[in-house]
Amino acid sequence: MTKKLYPLKFQPILKTKIWGGNRLVKEYSKFYDPEEEIDPSHIGESWEIVDLGDDSSMVSEGFLEGNSLFDILETYLGDLVGDKVFEMYNLQFPVLVKLLDISTNISVQVHPDDEIALERYDNYGKEEFWHVLDADENARIYLGFKRKVTATEFYDKCKDGTVIQLLNEIRPRKGDNFHIKPGTVHSATGGIRLVEIQQPSDITFRLYDWEREFDSNTAREMHLEEAIDCIDYSASTPSSLVIPTDTTHGPLCESDNFIITALDLKDTLHIYTERFDSFIIYICTQGSASFQVMEGGKKVSYDISKGGTILIPASLDDFFIVPLEKNTLLLEVWLRPAEEVDDYIDENVSEECDDDDCDDEEGEYCHCGHNHKH
């Protein structure tokens, strides 16, 4: 008989990148083994929760310490991720969570959708969500096109190094959010620390690399021809792309691949897990918090601070989140598998919440798992 699951914390997996810096180590306490071949001045990514290829997060404490996320999923199945989630994803953990330190230019890039990724690579596409933890004065995010462009024009601009002229330029602020759908061309530069929540895929098509591609010492593989039919060439505006962190009006992002909500922890929060039927990931973006559960009749606490993550198994009983500092902010991430819609159901009529313990006001998103729109 397997032991009951508990809130899981993992050892970060650090990745060096040509555009990375040292802020994840200095400001977010992401430690690395000195024996590893890692350049501490160019750490671009900290993979917080992942099971992808050779990378699988290792539990850092408790009786499962030293076990990989894949091993735990293989043992606990739906108890870890939720029965409906397991039916859809089987032994693939469906979300990847990273912290990024973008010290200098990341490539102008795009990611394919599920259809193209499955057809060409037998893999998932890559939908992303960025939450800005901090941004320097010169930080910039380039996202989507200012105007509708043609594939030929875009190709030529990538080749002559002027493609940035086509993209929306955004000065990011702490707390800004960006939902980067597959097909959306994007880049960033100038000093940004952010949380990236994405599908379990690492398929990236580099389109322009800020002229690194023309230097034999810095050249990386490019994928312009491969990506040309993956791109959304429609126009967008900067104001339509920035999602402010709103803790009062429901999810920041709701898609088939993840639901992301910002929580402003002013008081203790009681989470009713049965309403999710999914794992829940919490990422601390400011302050610190304690996750309190009952184990063997005793209250046990699992704490995270800024930049920390914790995975709540689907089978866990109700629990409490207690702020340990003022102005503690969390991102809550979970997944609701898409269901077939009954032809006889009117999608415009929302189901009322029947949870007697829920006292949220009409029109608010509550943590019993219901979206209250009566």
Q: 10-241 and 253-334 share one CATH topology? A: yes
The pLDDT of residue 364 is above 80? no
pLDDT tens-digit series, residues 100-137: 999 999 999 999 999 999 999 999 999 999 999 999 99
pLDDT tens-digit series, residues 79-103: 999 999 999 999 999 999 999 999 9
Q: Output the CATH code of domain 253-334.
A: 2.60.120.10
In angstroms, rounded to a whole number, what is the distance separating the alpha carbons of residues 119 and 104? 33
Terminal-residue alpha carbon distance, the chain: 44
Name the active-site residue from 206, 212, 220, 275. Answer: 206
SS3 (DSSP) at 159? helix
Domain ranges of the chain: 10-241, 253-334
C-beta of residue 30 within 8 angstroms of C-beta of residue 12:
yes
The pLDDT of residue 357 is above 50? no
Report the share of the chain in percent with pLDDT over 70. 90
Q: pTM for the complete prediction? A: 0.90
CATH class of 10-241: mainly beta
C-beta of residue 168 within 8 angstroms of C-beta of residue 104:
no
pLDDT tens-digit series, residues 231-278: 999 999 999 999 999 888 889 999 999 999 999 999 999 999 988 999
Q: Label residue 363 by pLDDT band (50, 70, 90).
A: very low
**pLDDT top residue among 142 and 374:** 142
- Indicate if 147 belongs to the active site: no
C-beta of residue 327 within 8 angstroms of C-beta of residue 363:
no
| Burial (0-12, 13-18, 19+ Cβ within 10 Å), 303 | middle
Kind of pairing between the strands at 205-208 and 108-110: antiparallel
Residues in the chain: 374
Q: Label residue 339 by pLDDT band (50, 70, 90).
A: low
